[in-house]
Structure 1
């Protein structure tokens, strides 16, 4: 069974789990001897409860990752629910807006420098699933308390909360790739099987930590980037090291090295998940633009899907905004639009939580500005 077939299978399973929860709630309401008008408040409650409790289970899921990491001595980096991110900046909590397509949340922690066991990594990856299941079991136990199970509102709330916890656990615990992003179960499976992937996963988390603390990629020790290892671009963990090698070359303004890396990665592009394919195409377009590749070659890469991806990301990510600026200046040759995007880039820098990216992206956009 290939990955696409697996993804379809898990989506079908997820759909029928949702259907089962809905049918269960419907059956409880149907057993009531109240009229449809009398049931209306209960239905309104459900419409409010379901999205609110699903969001609460998303928060619980990310908190599970955080608590599992803290228990192993990891350092807090950031906590994101949808587009809202809490991170640490100069020892203080900082609120910002950030987005990664295909994800509802993300908790980033920085591993300690001492060696980590496979079980510690597994605990971190599955911490969210465990806390979702734990809260679902807690909801089930609360249903057995007479003071609660005599309340219709209490019963409905706990059933929805329990169902949301089970759905979150299943959708994150069963290994598959959704929206181009491997879920926790898939990450856990790959880390168990492959020592190199385990070390890359740890080093990528450490690189994230350095960046968030304001250290530029070019100043991070080269050992973290695994340039000497034979990396598998089809592996969603190992390919992250490839992208960080590319990002480091760009931060050094070493465009010859960056082009070499892109050319090598493009040869394996079809083996990458969708998100990484899009990210690679972004940097491929950027490098082609600054070396003045003919427009028809850029147009081949700049599909409608790619344009949508850039628009979706440029409000939150400096690299996407840098690409949008480069397209306006060198491809569209629209100076007014380019200046508007340049000002937008400058404003985003003032509130960007990945501090180590700011100076590198500024250097790149200033390089383009001089072309």
Structure 2
């Protein structure tokens, strides 16, 4: 805990120093230009700031897309806030809605075939930051004004916040990937896994040799990229509805790994609500996690995964079959709000499973 606090303070100090340098530099560079333009309306400037922030998120993700394509990657999805464009199994673009805590956007792509020592990840990971900086400079040089200055400042701030390694941003992912080949392979594996989910398939089922490869990995630098392997393994159990084994593994991971990212912990808690309700409703851990504020927020999400979690809770813990069935029907109605085709299909399959358990 002390280490996390210390690292957090260092990050804040680093951001303040960078901000001061940027502010001083900008003042020196643009001072003369701004003296020649009219002072803007404060309300318009505020609106421009909001629009600039949204535009820079789009620009940032477009940077990942551009440099990903340049590196031989293939498009999977492009998300800004909750709005998401995906390419389905037939190559057609579709709109879905997905919320991922801690991110304003995300561009996911399928990496080229993995070749040890030659994995192209640098341009893809740094593409967003590069676009933020380039577009900021270009807009200011082409049309210097208070509005383009605001656009540029927001762009530089977002760029540095993503470049300085912290949380699970681009800089941190780049930092971990640059440290060793195993982490780079795992990054590639994650992107491949996401691609298969986008076309409604499970990578471990389609390519069972990957399981052996995962089990043979020697992980020396544990981080959120390597932690994602745990979720890939859990997904294999969920695919076959091996809920007893899944319950044991998820409970063990949750109770033994305090160092997991908060977003991982929240997803584990959400999964535990479902599994405890289904397998062992008397587990005292359920009452503990249901008090967690982050979980309460997570369980307000309107997607089929959440509806099924709540339906299982009503069925297994509250013993309210009618409410459980209503939640199952709600899950079916919003199936298109699942983040990808694989999860959509899996949740619809679970709807049938739970419904059969209730009415039998």
TM-score (norm 1): 0.83
* Distance of aligned partners of 1:168 and 1:352 in 2 relative to their CA distance in 1, 3 Å threshold: same
Q: Secondary structure at the match of 1:196?
A: helix
Aligned to 2:321: 335
SS of structure 2 residue aligned to 1:262:
helix
- Aligned with residue 342 of structure 2, among 348, 356, 361: 356
Could you tell me which runs of 5 or more consecutive residues in structure 1 were left unpaired when the two chains were aligned.
143-147, 149-153
What's 1:202 paired with? 188
Q: Partner residue of 1:161?
A: 151
Contact kept, 8 Å, 2:274 with 2:310, in 1: the verdict is: no
Equivalent pairs, count? 349
Shift of 1:22: 8.7
> Following TM superposition, by how much is the alpha carbon of 1:122 offset from its aligned partner in structure 2, in angstroms?
1.7
Rounded Cα–Cα distance in structure 2 between residues aligned with 1:8 and 1:162? 26
Structure 1 residues 70-105: Cα deviation after superposition (integer angstroms, max 9, x where no partner): 011111000000000011122221112111011100
Shift of 1:322: 1.9
Contact 2:335 2:344 in 1 (8 A): yes
- Taking the aligned partners of 1:92 and 1:101, their CA distance within structure 2 comes to 27
CA-to-aligned-CA distance 1:263-306 (integer Å, 9 cap, x gap): 44235320111111111222233222211331644212222425
Distance 1:205 1:224, change over 3 A: farther
Q: 1:190 aligns with which of 176, 196, 202?
A: 176
State the TM-score, normalizing by the size of structure 2. 0.86
Cα 1:21/1:42, change in 2 over 3 Å: farther
Q: Provide the rounded CA distance (Å) in 2 between the counterparts of 1:342 and 1:232.
A: 43
The answer (yes or no) to whether the contact 1:295–1:331 under 8 Å persists in 2 is: no
Contact kept? 2:162, 2:170, Cα under 8 Å: yes
Q: Report the Cα offset of residue 230 of structure 1.
A: 5.0
Change (3 A) 1:282 1:346: same
Q: CA deviation at 1:206?
A: 0.4
Q: What residue is the counterpart of 1:367 in the other structure?
A: 353
CA distance in 2, matches of 1:48, 1:55: 11
Q: Distance in 2 between matches of 1:160 and 1:323?
A: 44
Identify if the C-alpha distance between structure 1 residues 295 and 268 changes in structure 2 by more than 3 Å, giving closer, same or farther.
closer
Would the aligned equivalents of 1:236 and 1:273 in 2 still touch at CA under 8 Å? yes
| Counterpart contact for 2:110–2:195, Cα < 8 Å | yes
SS in 1 for 2:115: coil
Unmatched segments (≥5 aa) in structure 2: none
Q: Distance in 2 between matches of 1:15 and 1:3?
A: 18
Take 2:336 and 2:36, find their aligned partners in 1: how far apart are those partners?
59
CA change 1:114–1:32 in 2 (3 A) is closer
The Cα RMSD (Å) is 3.0
Change (3 A) 1:363 1:84: same
- The corresponding residue for 1:7 is 8
Distance 2:341 2:247 in 1: 25
- Per the alignment, residue 310 of structure 2 pairs with 324
How far does residue 52 in structure 1 lie from its aligned partner after superposition? Answer: 0.4
Distance 1:61 1:130 in 2: 8
User: What residue number does 1:127 align with?
Assistant: 127
Kept in 2: contact 1:82–1:103 (CA 8 A) = yes
Measured at CA, do residues 114 and 18 of structure 1 come closer, stay the same or move farther in structure 2, by a change above 3 Å? closer
Cα 1:6–1:127 change in 2 (3 A) is: same
Deviates more, 1:219-228 or 1:131-140: 219-228
Match for residue 282 of structure 2?
294
For the residues of structure 2 that align with 1:346 and 1:230, how far apart are their CA atoms? Answer: 41
- Give 1:214's aligned residue: 200
For 1:322 and 1:118, the matched residues in 2 are separated by 42
Displacement of 1:340 after TM fit? Answer: 2.7
Change (3 A) 1:119 1:135: farther
1:83 matched to 2:82? The reply is yes
1:171 aligns with 2:164: no
**Secondary structure of residue in 1 paired with 2:100:** coil
Deviation at residue 21 of structure 1 after TM alignment: 7.9
